[in-house]
Structure 1
Amino acid sequence: MAICLGAMIASTSAFAQSPTFFRIGTGGAGGTYFPIGGTIANAISAPPGSRPCDEGGQCGVPGLIAIAQSTTASVFNAAAVQNGQLEAGLSAADVVHDTYFGVRKFEGKPHPKLRIVANLYPEDLHLVLPKGQKIESLADLKGERVGIAQAGSGTQVAVLTMLDGWGVNRDNIDAAELGNSQSAERLADGQLDAYFYAAGWPVAAMVQLASTKGMELHSFSDADLKKINDLVPAYIPSQIPAGVYDGIDYAVKTPAVSALFIVSSDLDEELVYGLTKALWNSNTRKILDNGHAKGKQITLETALDGVAVLEVPLHPGAARFYKEVGMIK
């Protein structure tokens, strides 16, 4: 169904002649990538025949039909953008860096086609425990049944690196490779002792878990946050405010990584310029502010935060937009 955009799109007028499908890889339905990806898809779309933006219609790229696809998240999305299975995707900053350069867990497997459109929002690492349970550090997870997130997710790659810093690995835990919703269900049923998930709060599956069975979130010490930053530099100290989830009446210190909107270098510059411009117009601002809570943190002012440090290029179409608005000299 999808069309090879790079070969097809040559000018803005081409969009008005026939629909162009644009696939955005997101994550599981119980996480944050999926609703945010859906919001972005809505914002950049303007199907053929739709009313013009100034007449109350959609304010996206004329002729573009963007579709948010549920996937296993960051690692899958980066690979799928690289090999042409997806035109775009949401992915964690550490995964984008490591896959682009082919380092660490991706040694010898560079993804040179990855390009950044924007930094979106911080993804806070949630270490979820049963109600009434606490741990002192990650070392306490030895011998436990632990959800380490789905294979193909950036969370799993980062979590395994973190755990190794405390001598915890697949050999001394009962590791479960599950999505967020499945992990929450297993924890509620007593089949897991803990699970990890990195996402923008509030996370739908955790909202449900907290309001039914109840849960706890591990708050990391400052020393542990520094150690995690040394192990996985893209993860920086953050905080989940008290009251985000029922029963969690304390602020949670935790590491966080930026979620990025990425595309393929194969995409036409005019197309990516158009979708970047659509992402940051006033109509999209309204959509972001009235959707998932994390939408409010997706702003033009923070669109380039941390991007230069990653050394992964912006797509020329996106760079052109940021130059026009004075964010790049």
Structure 2
Amino acid sequence: MKHSHPESILRPAAAVDRRRLLRLLGGGAAAFALGLGRRALAASTDIRFFRIGTGAPSGTYFPLGGEIANALSNPPGSRDCAKGGACGVPGVIAVAQASQGSVENVEAVVKGQFESALCQADVASWAYAGTNGFAKDGAQPGLRALANLYSESLHIVVRADGPIHTLKDLKGKRISLGEPESGTLADARLVLAGAGLGEKDLKASTMKLTQAAAGLAAGSMDGFFQIAGWPVPAIAELAQNTKLRLLPIPQDVADRLRKKWGFLAQDRIPGGSYEGIEEDVDTLGIGAEWITTDKIETDFAYRLVKALWHESSQKLIENGHPIGKRIKLAKAIDGLAIPLHPGAEQFYREAGLLVQASQSQ
């Protein structure tokens, strides 16, 4: 997949309408940002574009990334934070950019195609160590974490009126394992292996979430995997017209997978998260992390993280997306799969989250 490469520093226009910019940029309209160029932003104060790799528009990463982009942005001409205006990083216009998911995101961050990205903890860990699909490119020791955001839940979605009730029932069925280069695909393979199955045991495919959901509704697909924070918009929409079932992960399978893969955690999708599914579903969870590289300046990373956790930003994120209410400063360094960026570490130490660690050294 090809990416555009706008300059990180541009000359801005003499006056910038922040509301218009954030409406177009923060919501994920990266094409607008990439097309502004020098003509639209000719002059007086530097503007720094900051790209955030997300995921498919039908998932959780893309809309959430848009809210985070809004929170980080503070273009010239914005009203002061203390007066109810922008509380992001002065001069920054953050852009949520769609992608195929975690694998593509981490690769794009390493190549400098994104300045940062949302990424599953397991994928970040593999890329950092150069294992599990990242061996060809080797370890990426420059990867750094800015924050743990929330726990993503494994969804295995099938029709409620169909014959699939357990993982074993997936055998021989038409199942989408997630998009190519997605964290969902990587972890679907792990879960199948944990249940004693392989891709060859299924009529497996790799589809976009919207395609898989449409196929399930039409009867051309029997089910699909998706790792995302509940409620996933595409699954919620599907549930309004198609009766669904979420497959649970048996405890023995979950224990076996968690023992082998430390980034996996016991998780539960609450009943009522999707129409027609009233009971809790036991599954596995994986941390969703905001990552970057050590090429980002320490002071800039500090200001980004400070902007993310600003009270005003938190209200914006909480009100902008259902998953936002689960993004809490108190959990910002829980279960990180890669080292913290020094700028982020400085902020969390000042916030009191790293006090014990610093005292023990």
TM range (shorter): over 0.9
How far did 1:137 drift? 3.5
Measure, in 2, the Cα distance between the counterparts of 1:260 and 1:91: 5
Aligned to 2:62, the other structure's residue is in SS state: helix
Match of 2:148 in 1: 119
Out of 191, 198, 208, which is 2:220 matched to?
A: 191
CA distances 1:164-203 after superposition (whole Å, capped 9, x unpaired):
2333223221111112111111111111111100000000
Equivalences for 1:125-144 in 2 at 5 Å? 125-133=154-162, 135-144=164-173
Amino acid in structure 1 at the alignment position of 2:244: M
How far did 1:4 drift? 4.2
Equivalences for 1:79-228 in 2 at 5 Å? 79-108=107-136, 109-133=138-162, 135-228=164-257
Is it true that 1:318 corresponds to 2:347 in the alignment?
Answer: no
Comparing 162-171 with 259-268, which one deviates more in the overlay?
162-171
Out of 276, 288, 291, which is 1:247 matched to?
A: 276
Measure, in 2, the Cα distance between the counterparts of 1:152 and 1:285: 30
How far did 1:35 drift? 1.2
Out of 66, 72, 80, which is 1:38 matched to?
A: 66
Out of 320, 332, 348, which is 1:291 matched to?
A: 320
Aligned to 2:201, the other structure's residue is in SS state: coil
CA distances 1:101-141 after superposition (whole Å, capped 9, x unpaired):
10122225222221100000010000000122354542321
Measure, in 1, the Cα distance between the counterparts of 2:199 and 2:244: 24
Corresponding pairs, count: 316
TM-score normalised over the length of structure 2: 0.84
TM-score normalised over the length of structure 1: 0.92
Measure, in 2, the Cα distance between the counterparts of 1:139 and 1:83: 40
> Which ranges of structure 2 fall in alignment gaps of 5 or more residues?
10-43
Measure, in 2, the Cα distance between the counterparts of 1:149 and 1:266: 31
Aligned to 1:290, the other structure's residue is in SS state: helix
Aligned to 1:273, the other structure's residue is in SS state: helix
Measure, in 1, the Cα distance between the counterparts of 2:352 and 2:163: 48
Aligned to 1:115, the other structure's residue is in SS state: strand
Q: Percent identity?
A: 41
Aligned to 1:23, the other structure's residue is in SS state: strand
Aligned to 1:294, the other structure's residue is in SS state: helix
The answer to whether the 8 A contact 2:8-2:50 is kept is: no
The answer to whether the 8 A contact 1:141-1:173 is kept is: yes
Measure, in 2, the Cα distance between the counterparts of 1:27 and 1:253: 25
> Which ranges of structure 1 fall in alignment gaps of 5 or more residues?
6-15
Out of 9, 24, 27, which is 2:55 matched to?
A: 27
Comparing 313-322 with 126-135, which one deviates more in the overlay?
126-135
Measure, in 2, the Cα distance between the counterparts of 1:230 and 1:127: 21
How far did 1:264 drift? 1.7
Instruction: Sort the Cα spacing of 1:119 and 1:134 in 2 relative to 1 into closer, same or farther, 3 A.
Output: farther
Amino acid in structure 1 at the alignment position of 2:182: S
The answer to whether the 8 A contact 2:59-2:233 is kept is: yes
Measure, in 2, the Cα distance between the counterparts of 1:285 and 1:154: 26
The answer to whether the 8 A contact 1:25-1:77 is kept is: yes
Amino acid in structure 2 at the alignment position of 1:317: G
Measure, in 2, the Cα distance between the counterparts of 1:2 and 1:42: 19
Out of 3, 10, 15, which is 2:7 matched to?
A: 3
Amino acid in structure 1 at the alignment position of 2:254: L
CA distances 1:276-297 after superposition (whole Å, capped 9, x unpaired):
0000011011112212111011
Amino acid in structure 2 at the alignment position of 1:124: S
Measure, in 2, the Cα distance between the counterparts of 1:18 and 1:134: 59
The answer to whether the 8 A contact 1:124-1:255 is kept is: yes
Measure, in 1, the Cα distance between the counterparts of 2:214 and 2:53: 24
CA distances 1:132-168 after superposition (whole Å, capped 9, x unpaired):
2354542321211111000110110111122123332
Q: Aligned-residue CA RMSD in angstroms?
A: 1.5
Match of 2:16 in 1: none
The answer to whether the 8 A contact 1:162-1:231 is kept is: no
